[in-house]
Amino acid sequence: METTSKKSFITGEIMKSSILEAFRKLNPVNMVKNPVLFVVEIGFILVLLLAIFPNMMGDDNGGHLRLYNAIVAVILLVTILFANFAESIAEGRGKAQVQTLKKTNTVTEARVLLSDGTQVMKQANELIKGDIVIVQAGEVIPNDGEVIEGIATVDESAITGESAPVVKERGGDFSSVTGGTTVTSDWLKIEITSLPGESFLDKMIALIEGASRKKTPNEIALNTLLVSLTIIFLLVVVTLYPMTTYLNVDIPVATLIALIVCLIPTTIGGLLSAIGIAGMDRVTQFNVIAMSGRAVEACGDVDTLILDKTGTITYGNRLASEFSPVLGVDKKELIRAAWLSSLTDDTPEGKSILSLAIKLNVDAADEKKIIKTSDPISFTAQTRMSGLDMQNGTKIRKGAYDSIKNRSVAAGHALPKDLEGLVHQVSSLGGTPLVVTENDNILGVIYLKDVVKPGLKERFELLRAMGIKTIMCTGDNPLTAATIAKEAGVDGFIAESKPEDKINVIKEEQAQGKIVAMTGDGTNDAPALAQANVGLAMNSGTNAAKEAANMVDLDSNPTKIIEVVEIGKQLLMTRGALTTFSIANDVAKYFAIIPAMLMVAVPEMGALNVMQLNSPTSAIISALIFNAIIIPLLIPIAMKGVKYKPMSASKLLSRNLLVYGLGGIIAPFIGIKFIDLIIGPILRMMGL
């Protein structure tokens, strides 16, 4: 998955192969799958025959229509090619991804550990579930599995695109490995959990390749509508023929076919499958693998989002947010001591203390010298404190309240009166207090806070505007949970939650008719992931979680569920917008074609020629050209999806109606008039 292909929308290579593919798809066996365009193809063949044998339909003086028929035939052919091209481009982008993936999926041999302890080499495709393999640095993991021994770094860039290697070890949430990824250091003993050809990577390739791309329920429903519209318009035009014959109005067959093609929803019919493929593709571009298109569609309907607190709403680590000195201590003194205590502390907490201190203008001039000359004291489970012993004998410590208190009292110092109050205040806010001492003299408290990721509050607000409720799950006590919930702006929270609580919340919400989405990674999340309508598992998570979910995030970023929901909505919106546009276009086409068609027999029809088009022939051909050209013009929208900003349904509807409904009525009036201005004189020169 090259990063370049993520950005550019079409590469030259995809363009070239798509053009070829567009012609290959003209095969009627293939076209039948798209009934709207199949009708156009039949029309094309008929008109083509009429161009070659103008008198075929028993029209004695059909000869003068030869050129007209030929022009109509060419435009019809181009219409079909444009539609095929759109589909090919969408498929082409997926194919490029598959190529890269396939390259990584070509492991040949694996070192299998037999029960008697001997090692044999086996073909990767002969591995079965339960085989134990040993993979060493530089080797590719042959299939999906669980680490049962060893610790090693693994390069997962082949599937995640993330170049930094990940540590894999036995047990916990980092024990599953994916076939096709490379061990970069040390070695791993792995128990294989997939059959050959059924690995995660294989499934991913199959999905993107479109081999297993089933039409989604909504796509089928929309297709049904389009087919019915096609049948209606076929009926309208086919029955029109005897009526005109009865009235002695002579209409060339090519004109009737042009009328059919203009009226049936060729625009959306031509772009529908491209929209679906591109929608799935957008999810993939986000490094999320959707197991089915149905899951992506369901995303658009989500009413309730269930999010874990840690890692999703807050950073996994607590960060320093405030220094509170005890009475009689200067704040600057506390800051300096806190800074000193963390100089050799590499934990995220320690680093956050440093950066906060620097932000508060601590005197950091002698940093390097202190580090070089001091004795670092690291955190241990017994002491529950860390710090450093400086060259001048000053001992700086920071640590848990109890440990520091005992040490300070033991050293003969009196406890500051307001210390307990400060510590309690921090705890009640949901934070962790760290007490700082200098030579066992207590200076004050560092407030370590659960920090809500920036921008989340605003996003939750947007979600609320879209009608999506957010619920936070956390193991914290209710007080802490309430503080974080308020800060993050979620709609509800479950404190001290156990895994089974999650599934209960999901069931409750579903009983109220809500569609629920959640993210999870642990094995005990699996039932909840399966119960949720949309379950997004982290790639770093266990295989059980990944199996239960209907989407996997390769970057293991739980906040991504929000983007996925938006992509789901956008996919449906693109379909709706282009359908509306396509149907709205018909109004203008009618005003172009109907008067043109009848003007010869009923001159008064000229009154309906509101666009003042050059001639009947020019009107019909202009409408047809517009009908064809609009397809490639809309390919970018089909690929990228319509613009989407979270807002309430009513606002969204008015906006899209204005753009695609009203726009769909007006655009073809302008387009057809414009085309007529250009081709009118040309057609006149050609004698039409």
Partner 1 sequence: MWQIALVLGIYLPLVIVAGHYLYHVTMQQKTWLDPVMNRIDNIIYKISGIKQVNMTGKQYVLALILSNAIMVLIGYIILRIQSALFLNPNGIGTMEATLSFNTIISFMTNTNLQHYSGESGLSYLSQMLVITFMMFTSAATGYAACMAFCRRLVAKTDTLGNFFVDFVRVITRVLIPISFIVALILVFQGSPQTFNSNETVHTIEGNMQDIALGPIASLESIKHVGTNGGGFNGANSTTPFENPTVISNIVEMLSMMLLPGACVVAFSLMVVNRKRKTLFGKQGLVIFAAMSILFLIGLTTCYLAERAGNPIIGELGITQDLGSMEGKEMRFGVAQSALFTVVTTAFTTGSVNNMHDTLTPLGGMVPLFNMMLNVVFGGKGVGLMNMMMYVMLTIFIACLMIGRTPQFLGKKIEEKEMKLIALCILIHPAIILVFSALAVSTVAGVEGITNPGAHGLSQVLYEYASSSANNGSGFEGLSDNSTFWNVTTGLAMFFGRYLSIIIQLTIASLLAKKLWHSESVGTLKTDNAMFTFLLVAIVLMIGALTFLPALALGPITEHLQIRS
Q: Which is nearer to partner 1, 182 or 585 (CB)?
A: 585
Helix intervals (H) in 526-615: 526-531, 543-548, 560-598
Q: What is the dihedral of CA 8, 9, 11, 13, to 10 degrees?
A: 150
Task: Kindly tell me which residue out of 113, 195, 240, 462 binds partner 1, with binding defined by CB under 8 A.
Answer: 240
How many residues make up the chain in this entry? 688
Of 308, 450, 476, 553, the catalytic one is 308
**Interface with partner 1 in residues 483-512 (CB under 8 A):** 512
Is 383 marked as binding a ligand? yes
Q: How far is the CB of 375 from partner 1 (least distance, A)?
A: 59
Told to check if 570 binds partner 1 by CB under 8 A, we report yes
SS (H, E, C) 184-215: CCCEEEEEECCCCCCCHHHHHHHHHHCCCCCC
Q: Give residues 466-485 in contact with partner 1 (rule: CB under 8 A).
A: 466-469
Residue 670 binds partner 1 (CB under 8 A): no
Q: Which is nearer to partner 1, 237 or 551 (CB)?
A: 237
Site string (505-544) toward partner 1, x via CB under 8 A: -------xxxx-----------------------------
Are the C-beta atoms of 358 and 403 separated by less than 8 Å?
no
3-state secondary structure 90-151: HHHHHHHHHHHHHHHCCCCEEEEECCCCCEEEEEHHHCCCCCEEEEECCCECCCCEEEEECE
379 appears as a binding residue in the annotation: yes
What residues from 639 to 668 belong to the interface with partner 1 (CB under 8 A)?
Answer: 644, 648-650, 652-654, 656-657, 660-661
For residue 451, the number of C-alpha atoms closer than 13 Å in the C-beta half-sphere is 15
CB of 566 to partner 1, least distance (A): 8
How many whole angstroms separate alpha carbon 497 and alpha carbon 472? 10
Q: Does position 193 bind partner 1 by CB under 8 A?
A: no
284 appears as a binding residue in the annotation: no
Q: Is 386 marked within a binding site? A: yes
Residue 1 DSSP symbol: -
List the one residue from 133, 158, 572, 613 that touches partner 1 (CB under 8 A). Answer: 572
- The CA distance from 63 to 514, in Å, is 65
3-state helix, strand, coil in the chain (%, to 5): 55, 15, 30
In 3-state terms, what secondary structure has residue 427? helix
327's tokens: 């009475």
Segment interacting with partner 1 (CB under 8 A) among 41-49, 196-204, 212-220, 360-368: 212-220
Cα–Cα distance, 336 to 331 (Å, whole number): 9
Site for partner 1 in 271-310 (CB under 8 A): 297-298, 300-301, 303
C-beta of 314 vs 656, nearer to partner 1:
656
Beta-carbon contacts of 209 under 8 Å, excluding residues fewer than 6 positions away, are 94, 95, 98
Determine whether the annotation assigns residue 286 to a binding site: no
Give yes or no for a contact between 410 and 430, defined as CB atoms under 8 angstroms apart.
no
Q: Which of residues 303-362 bind partner 1 (CB under 8 A)?
A: 303
Shortest distance (Å) from residue 217 CB to partner 1 = 6
Active site residue 308: yes
> 282 vs 575, which CB is nearer to partner 1?
575
Question: Angle at Cα 687 formed by Cα 685 and Cα 688, nearest 5°?
Answer: 110
Q: Which stretch binds partner 1 (CB under 8 A): 32-40, 93-101, 328-336, 562-570?
A: 562-570
Nearer to partner 1, 135 or 532 (CB): 532
CB atoms within 10 A of CB 657: 16
Q: Does residue 381 sit in helix, strand or coil?
A: coil
Which segment (106-114, 162-170, 371-379, 594-602) binds partner 1 by CB under 8 A?
A: 594-602
For 518-542, the DSSP string reads EEE-SGGGHHHHHHSSEEEEETTS-
Is 553 annotated as a binding-site member? no
Residue 346 counted as an annotated binding residue: no
Contact stretch for partner 1 (CB under 8 A) within 83-91, 172-180, 234-242, 426-434: 234-242
Residue 472 annotated as lining a ligand binding site: no
Report the residue from 112, 319, 573, 588 that binds partner 1 according to the rule CB under 8 A.
573
* Shortest distance (Å) from residue 68 CB to partner 1: 20
Cβ 26 to partner 1, closest distance in Å? 28
Binding residues: 345, 349, 379-386, 398, 521, 525
Binding residues for ATP: 345, 349, 379-386, 398
The residues annotated with a catalytic role in the active site are 308
